[in-house]
Structure 1
């Protein structure tokens, strides 16, 4: 009962609002596509999302009750690293191809779970490093090797968005760890030079035709509005036609066949069209509140391990939001990154909910006051 009273409602309230509005918009955005692909079952995608929401909520509750220190055990990090790399290799070997990416196996996307796995492994490393009296550069090399390995395996799917997000999450914790940046620059300069040929190879020969097209299309999608720029142009139309209040719930025109996959990457464009600036603003405030609360928990947490986890989770949710919105507005290339708690995608939703559960536990066990930001 005491734990329930200590729950961080500044985290739970925006989560509830965002997930509720997300499910409502999921039904609206996906109903026509569901009928086209699954007969008269307009609820196919929303029912699937509700199932994942239920599973994710169970995971949230378990992680909120489970002491977060358990993730600091060495065996947990070893299992995450070995298990994660094994699953990524299995994906490349026996994975299911969807939308030109071989990212699925056993009905899940391992890359999504490895985002949280990266947070836990990286947080543990830097928390232990702060307890040591000397810098453990060999440990940093091992950590960087792990990050580079999963980056390469996810990149080969190809899933550039998730690969870059994992690097970004790890780097965010890296920067907040108090490491000597000047010394880091000196020690990594030679390593960076050695990596240049590998980076050149990845860009020149490993990017798929679809990825290269997505990068070049953002400069002016209207030059090929019926071809490579089709998705982006119709996203612009959806966003621009919504105005302040939108066309009204269920009244989107772009979801009727003009905008492919309106319930996944482009769901925020449909939100803008149907609910206008007001609907988008509500969702953005909800996600931003979660991110800011995560960073506040990190600031007030007395344990470095919990603090690093909170930083990583906040950055994970924030980066996904920025990359998704950047993609549908033409600021970034389209990467297939879902908008947290709103876009269709069971793996992403479950991982984000589990992450919130860990955050709640950090807040409870460190007796963080429920003060405003």
Structure 2
């Protein structure tokens, strides 16, 4: 059995976590086994499900909260467990911290994969400086270089390394996000949305996802259609600021902060249009899931690259286009029908983003012996 130590699961059910789980649940676990190293002592995303898959979850302190405890626990973990693994797979948004790879090398894990999931800095200036410093030395510690898109590769790796980078598709489970009429009816009734045009967004409440732009845009939209409701599914550090902005623009009756939700299919089915104006992304799972539901999508070109606009009801705009152009597109695209499931499946399979087709490809990349 090929044993992989995976880093990338946090306390938040985000894109990286969903990506890892979508693949791992479908791997032949007689041939490949994942254990997880997490930099938190709190309960992590999918922890119960991972334990049912017989995965061990090891936890160490966060470097930013307790650097001495972090260093001690990290060193102790690798000293004790490194010889149990054939490979370490590090899934991150930045190279600000490459200690996992350094210790994996020091303690003898022969194969060390670094996997880029973002295309721009989403942290402070110090972490950005560390990222660019570590870009120059990543080849000393990693043996394999992966990315979710060409854009994410360019942000992560020096130009001379790009030919060696392998693009791993963020494939999704279409059955998990497919349109469900009954769920739509139930949620719209519960939240009193039955007579509204519902514009939705799923993601962390964070400057990267650009929900402030969405709220400013809503002010313009409400002038044209007062029955519009905007729903944010997710949580994050910008939540209170966003709520204040909604209040200041007198949009309290037009916005719902639904918090973290587990039934993504239900919420996507509730929406009439998916709004996705991110400032930057690697290759976003949220945008693919919205398309998997068949929703019309209006997104920034920073959010959905052309290669990930799989359905014909996706509009991609520059953030520089201004609110009037965005409003016009939203009102136009919200009149379009959802794409049917068979057409969606065909589009995703053709582009390599359907999970069941993508699983054997990733399994082979781990070089599992038959």
TM norm structure 2: 0.24
The structure richer in strand per residue is: 2
> Which structure shows the bigger proportion of residues in helix conformation?
1
TM-score calculated relative to the size of structure 1 = 0.24
Instruction: Give the structure, 1 or 2, with the largest relative contact order (CA under 8 Å, sep 6 or more).
Output: 1
